[in-house]
Amino acid sequence: MLELVQAGGWLMLPILLCSVIAVAIIAERLWTLRQKKVIPVKLLSGIWILLEKKVLTDKHIQEIEKGSPLGKVLAAGLSNRHLSRDLIRESIHENGRFVVHEMERFMNTLGTISTITPLLGLLGTVIGMIKVFTVITTTGVGDPSQLAGGISEALITTAAGLTIAIPCLIFHRHLKRKIDDLVMGMEGEAMKLVEFLHHEALHVGTKKTKLAKAKA
């Protein structure tokens, strides 16, 4: 492996650096974007229980917010649960934008790596071929060993660039799709909470109206 790196020339260094960064990003995103970590299964049902028992406090909301990305979205709605339905949805939407931005962290970097590594390989190919033609110009084609260095440098850098770019592109597409699916899931959970809060508000309003009529 070390011999291949040395034969590829100095352009192998940025290519290898890109590979290390890409592996770190992919591992971190796969760990962070786990379904159960982003959308905990029992989170919404636990919130419903607190709301039905009327024991939800600011401390509970802070714990929900810190627990998961979905918790951050739902906490915005819970903090504004006494407002109208449209205002609750707007607060959830605004907070959700920040959550989605956080989920997409490093994705641009991974996409950039999948784009530039083949270009670095192509640059290595060009440099290697320049060396080959330089040798041919100065010494002719009589000594194949002198031509082999430039040709091997061209082929190795191209192969290295493609070897890194292909998995990066695959994981970039996979992670983007995963983020889209998670966002759709969070939107569904958030809408369930909005409908529940709206139903509770209507129920409380109806009870207040009946009490007012009874007193009258």
Structure confidence by residue, pLDDT tens digits, 123-178: 888 887 777 777 677 766 556 666 666 677 778 888 889 999 999 999 999 999 99
Tell me the residue range of the domain where 204 lies.
11-117+166-215
How many domains, in total, are found in the chain?
1
Q: Tell me, what's the pLDDT at 56?
A: 86
What does the angle CA 153 – CA 158 – CA 163 come to, to the nearest 5 degrees?
A: 125
> Would residue 128 count as lying in a domain?
no
Q: Tell me, what's the pLDDT at 19?
A: 94
> Would residue 142 count as lying in a domain?
no
Weakly modelled stretches of the chain, pLDDT under 70: 1-8, 135, 139-150, 200-216
